[in-house]
């Protein structure tokens, strides 16, 4: 059952809680990303990210927020006659240290690790990876706006002989405008950089946005979201559109 304090939260307050990457909230988002015109054959790639978020209270002043991303990937053939590959990709685990009682500006910082859980060479890398991650956002009571950015960079821990070295960066700015009743509009593009690629093949830069809504299954809050992003910059074989659909089951503490 929900704690009484959270059971009385409005849908708008629940939406803001869901939009805080380091909020004191156990949640399980299922985020499906459909990438159109991907690869040299210009086919459809699908990635379902299972993303459990678990906050751990260290003491009255500090929390550790763990965020895990397990991708379930359907990869199209990359050349004529190549079969589609389905399976699990590499897991990404982040552990943010964040103040337990922040003000209107909220932050978290910690390590991010890439774990080689892929079930096929087409779906990931055999090298472990490690790097830093930081998130900063503004969330003020009485304001409909929630905005900020999440940034990380992951370096492989071993060389080419172990399955391919990598150096990948990610920037995710996000802005949400919340309406009464739990409806909101959102833009949260995921900008990526492959620092080992040539300049013309390095960046993926999407623009776009969508809408979301808080509803309940019984007493369980659920955050549903649908958005679309167009890649204004992308490598030659990168997708040009991404359709993102998400359902997030929320378990406020």
**Residues 169-214: tens digit of each pLDDT:** 999 999 999 999 999 999 999 999 999 999 999 999 999 999 999 9
> How many domains would you assign to the chain?
1
pLDDT band at 59 (very low <50, low <70, confident <90, very high): very high
> How crowded is residue 236: how many other Cβ atoms within 10 Å of its Cβ?
8
Mean pLDDT over each residue of the chain, to the nearest integer: 93
88-107 burial, b at 16+ Cβ within 10 Å, e below that, comes to bbbbbebbbebeeebeeebe
Identify the residue with better confidence: 54 or 163: 54
pLDDT over threshold 90, residue 155? yes
% of the chain residues with pLDDT over 90 = 87
CA distance 10 to 85: 43
Q: CATH no. for residue 173?
A: 2.40.160.40
pTM for this prediction: 0.92
pLDDT over threshold 90, residue 161? no
Domain range enclosing 201: 4-252
Instruction: Report the phi/psi class of residue 42: left, alpha or beta, with left for phi > 0 and alpha for psi in -120 to 50.
Output: left
29 is written with which tokens?
Answer: 């988002």
Give tens-digit pLDDT for 6-20. 456 889 999 999 999
pLDDT band at 4 (very low <50, low <70, confident <90, very high): very low
% of the chain residues with pLDDT over 70 = 94
């Amino acid at each position: 059952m929900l704690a009484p304090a959270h059971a009385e939260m409005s849908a708008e307050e629940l939406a803001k809680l869901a939009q805080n990457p380091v909020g004191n909230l156990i949640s399980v988002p299922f985020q499906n990303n459909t990438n159109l015109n991907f690869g040299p054959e210009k086919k459809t790639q699908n990635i379902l990210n299972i993303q459990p978020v678990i906050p751990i209270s260290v003491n009255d002043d500090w929390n550790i927020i763990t965020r895990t991303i397990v991708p379930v990937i359907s990869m199209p053939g990359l050349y004529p006659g190549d079969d589609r590959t389905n399976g699990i990709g590499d897991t990404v685990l982040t552990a943010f240290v964040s103040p337990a009682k922040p003000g209107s500006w909220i932050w978290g910082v910690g390590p991010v690790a890439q774990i080689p859980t892929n079930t096929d060479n087409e779906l990931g890398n055999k090298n472990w990876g490690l790097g830093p991650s930081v998130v900063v956002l503004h969330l003020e009571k009485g304001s409909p706006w929630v905005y900020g950015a999440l940034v990380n960079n992951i370096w492989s821990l071993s060389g080419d002989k172990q399955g391919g070295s990598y150096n990948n960066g990610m920037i995710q700015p996000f802005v949400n405008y919340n309406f009464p009743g739990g409806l909101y509009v959102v833009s949260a593009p995921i900008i990526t950089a492959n620092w080992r690629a040539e300049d013309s093949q390095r960046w993926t830069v999407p623009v776009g946005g969508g809408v979301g809504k808080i509803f309940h299954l019984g007493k369980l809050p659920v955050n549903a979201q649908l958005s679309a992003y167009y890649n204004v910059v992308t490598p030659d074989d990168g997708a040009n559109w991404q359709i993102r659909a998400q359902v997030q089951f929320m378990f406020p503490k």
